[in-house]
Structure 1
Amino acid sequence: MVACAEGIGVPRGSRMFRKALHAVAFLSEEKIAAKVNYLKKTFRWSDAEVRNAVCKVPVLLALSRDTLKRKSVFLISEMGLEPKYIAQRPRIITCSLEGRLRPRHYAVKFLKENGLLKRDSGYSAVVKLTEKAFMEKFICPHKEVVPHLSGYYAAACRGEVPTVCGTTKC
């Protein structure tokens, strides 16, 4: 296990080493190699980008192919994020697609399209916020202009796709 963890690029003395050990604990070298190749193909990453992403977030090796594929499609195809951006911020991939990534994307997209955001926050920063901080920064300040935004955001968190926010399209 130690050799596998070091083999994916996580040094023994790093903070991530224990997480890397946990991620590779039940995987053979062949399965690790297959997962690395799948990450390269799915996220369109180079060898260096995969190595960097796995070093930062070893649990990527434990995620199912289906989960990785759905998140890749959403982040790259639907959101238009560059593969390099994702590789530099791989924690995005560990977030819940239905509970965090999609709802926050819908809310921020709506606010941008309607000129309600004064500055552009990077998507990684938006995703990292706690739920309370996200509500305070992105939803609550606009409750007078778009009174139903919090309800639409809550619906998106439940997996419903918002179609209209008040009189303005989401």
Structure 2
Amino acid sequence: MEPLFRIKATNTLEEYKHWNFELSGKKQIILMLVLYLLYALLITRYLLLYKFNPQLYAVCMLFMAVFLLFLFLYKNKLIKTVYYSNGANLKCPIAEVSFYEQFLEINNERSYSKFFYEDIYTIKETKTNYYIMTALNQGIILLKSDCPPEFAPFLQSLKFRSRKP
């Protein structure tokens, strides 16, 4: 049986970072901003109830900014650690994804996977990538630049067949 589409998927650290941000980064940024605002309100309230000290206020805000920077750097380090701990990404960074009528196959030098479209968790699309999620935290990264133009309508039709809208 001949596939409808055959696309190369390359797992690079940059694409993995984009994928991670798309899945969880937006929520985490919003959460950090909300926490920062709550912290600022708490410090302001405390200083207004007692004795307002501009220097202490500035130090508290600076501490929070440094803490948020630390969290950002820690998250980047954690992403790198997870990426480099996955031996499959390092040994076989290029996989071939073949799309058929009822399923897709992923092949590289070391593994083979087959997913029926109804078992796909969801499909996400960004400006540069398609993310075909086989589970909540597992998926395939496809660069739009590697996909033929007729792939987009095909992928849109798959969105209706996946488990999660």
* TM-score computed with the length of structure 1 as normaliser: 0.21
The structure with the larger Rg is 2
More contact order relative to length (CA 8 Å, sep ≥ 6)? 2
Higher helix share: 1
Higher strand share: 2
* TM-score computed with the length of structure 2 as normaliser: 0.21
